[in-house]
């Protein structure tokens, strides 16, 4: 017997899969856009082929085992952009929109004709692409150590027709000599979770290299703060996302390194989520 959409949703609820998630998974199976829930609702009696039903059951099972919805449907919305995601990259979080907004304001305030921006550890390309989409005059570079992440980010750039320069690099290490002029804004949402943080148990499916950074979660932030000055133009900014309880530590690291105007921004949940500073020195 073939199943209808109505029966599929009953099956989902029997497996304790959220109704919205089930609808989005169904749209994926039917190869319809993720915004077409109205179609599903209007076609309750639509009959699935046996292979569609099997695929749906498979997706329900994965979802009930905790696979993030974004990996199953293969996409995630970020800052108004639809990004392709895979298990090679961190799923973009709404909290990271704070970093993008700050970068865009910094670009605007700089009044530069062609500000140079670099996104470190770009993953899906979310931050770099959101910046480029909203500041077309900016020259955006995005780096990642993972070739798989970079391939996906590049694909996202092509799909969205946003011109970002993608490069493989361990933070700023690989960029030596490739950039003739420095950057006006360096942004990063690096891994920052402590290696033993119990909260990691809820993040089993994402790449651990995109999540944790040493015992105190600050290993990569320290590296970036040390590397950034030699790549920043005078009055350039370094803007970093970090954990909810790391603002003071990051501010201290920035100040010790010689950054000025050190300040923080809060995310949608009211957590101090980003801290940054200005580099006022001139390189000779
Ligand atoms: N904000 C993410 C989380 O706590 C972690 C992202 C990161 O480490 N950059 O779920």
213 lines ligand 1 (CB under 6 A): no
Please state the length of the chain: 284
> Which candidate, 178, 127, 184, 192, places its Cα nearest to that of 153?
127
In a domain, 79, yes or no: no
Q: How far does residue 54's CA lie from ligand 1's centre (Å)?
A: 33
- Answer whether residue 174 shows pLDDT above 80: no
In a domain, 46, yes or no: yes
The DSSP 8-state label assigned to residue 47 in this structure reads: B
Q: Which atom of ligand 1 is closest in space to residue 212's alpha carbon? A: 8
Q: For residue 206, what are the contacts with CB-CB under 8 A and spacing of at least 6?
A: 68, 87, 89, 90, 91
217 lines ligand 1 (CB under 6 A): no
167 shares its domain with 244 = yes
Q: Domain ends where: 39, 73, 107?
A: 73
Q: Domain ends where: 73, 99, 124?
A: 73
Count of the separate structural domains present in the chain:
2
| Contact call for residues 131 and 97 (beta carbons, < 8 A) | no
| Contact call for residues 152 and 165 (beta carbons, < 8 A) | no
pTM: 0.95
134 shares its domain with 27 = no
CATH code: domain of residue 131: 3.40.50.150
Q: How far does residue 191's CA lie from ligand 1's centre (Å)?
A: 7
93 lines ligand 1 (CB under 6 A): yes
99 shares its domain with 66 = no
262 lines ligand 1 (CB under 6 A): no
CA 264 to chain centroid, in Å, comes to: 19
Question: What pLDDT score was predicted for residue 1?
Answer: 75
Share of the chain above pLDDT 90, in %: 95
- Answer whether residue 284 shows pLDDT above 90: no
Q: Could you tell me the residue range of the domain that residue 52 belongs to?
A: 3-73
Q: Span 156-165, mean pLDDT?
A: 98
- Answer whether residue 251 shows pLDDT above 60: yes
189 lines ligand 1 (CB under 6 A): yes
Smallest CA separation from ligand 1 atom 9, residue: 191
107 shares its domain with 207 = yes
Mean pLDDT of the chain: 96
User: Between β-strands 272-279 and 260-266, what pairing exists: parallel, antiparallel or unpaired?
Assistant: antiparallel
Q: Determine the Cα–Cα distance for residues 190 and 42; give it in Å rounded to an integer.
A: 43
Question: What pLDDT score was predicted for residue 4?
Answer: 97
CATH code: domain of residue 53: 1.10.8.10
Q: Determine the Cα–Cα distance for residues 247 and 82; give it in Å rounded to an integer.
A: 30
In a domain, 196, yes or no: yes
| Contact call for residues 276 and 102 (beta carbons, < 8 A) | yes
For residue 280, the tally of other CB atoms under 10 A from its CB is 13
60 shares its domain with 97 = no
Give residue-wise pLDDT tens across range 56-111: 999 999 999 999 999 999 999 999 999 999 999 999 999 999 999 999 999 999 99
Which H, E and C letters describe 217-246, residue by residue? CCHHHHHHHHHHHHHEEEEEEEEEECCCCC
274 lines ligand 1 (CB under 6 A): no
Phi, psi (5° rounding) for residue 239? -120, 125
Which is it for the CA torsion 168, 171, 176, 181, positive or negative?
positive
């Amino acid at each position: 017997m073939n199943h209808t959409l109505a029966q599929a949703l009953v099956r989902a609820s029997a497996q304790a899969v959220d109704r919205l998630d089930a609808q989005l998974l169904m749209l994926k199976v039917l190869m319809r856009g993720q915004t077409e829930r109205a179609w599903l609702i209007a076609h309750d009696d639509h009959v699935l082929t046996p292979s569609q039903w099997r695929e749906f059951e498979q997706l329900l099972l994965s979802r009930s085992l905790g696979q993030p919805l974004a990996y199953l449907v293969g996409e995630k919305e970020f800052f108004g952009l639809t990004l392709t995601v895979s298990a090679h990259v961190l799923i973009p979080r709404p909290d990271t929109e704070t970093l993008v907004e700050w970068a865009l304001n910094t670009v605007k305030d700089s009044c530069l004709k062609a500000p140079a921006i670099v996104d470190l550890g770009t993953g899906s390309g979310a931050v770099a692409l959101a910046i480029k989409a909203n500041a077309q005059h900016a020259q955006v570079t995005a780096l990642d150590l993972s070739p798989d992440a970079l391939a996906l980010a590049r694909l996202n750039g092509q799909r969205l027709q946003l011109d970002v320069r993608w490069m493989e690099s361990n933070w700023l290490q690989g960029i030596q000599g490739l950039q003739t002029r420095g950057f006006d804004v360096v942004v990063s949402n690096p891994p920052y979770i402590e290696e033993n943080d119990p909260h990691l148990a809820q993040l089993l499916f994402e790449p651990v290299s995109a999540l944790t950074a040493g015992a105190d979660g600050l290993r990569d932030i320290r590296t970036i703060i040390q590397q950034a000055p030699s790549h920043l133009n005078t009055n350039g900014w370094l803007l970093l996302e970090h954990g909810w309880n790391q603002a003071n530590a990051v501010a201290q690291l920035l100040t010790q390194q010689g950054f000025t105007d050190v300040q923080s921004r809060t995310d949608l949940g009211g957590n101090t989520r980003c801290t940054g500073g200005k580099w006022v020195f001139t390189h000779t």
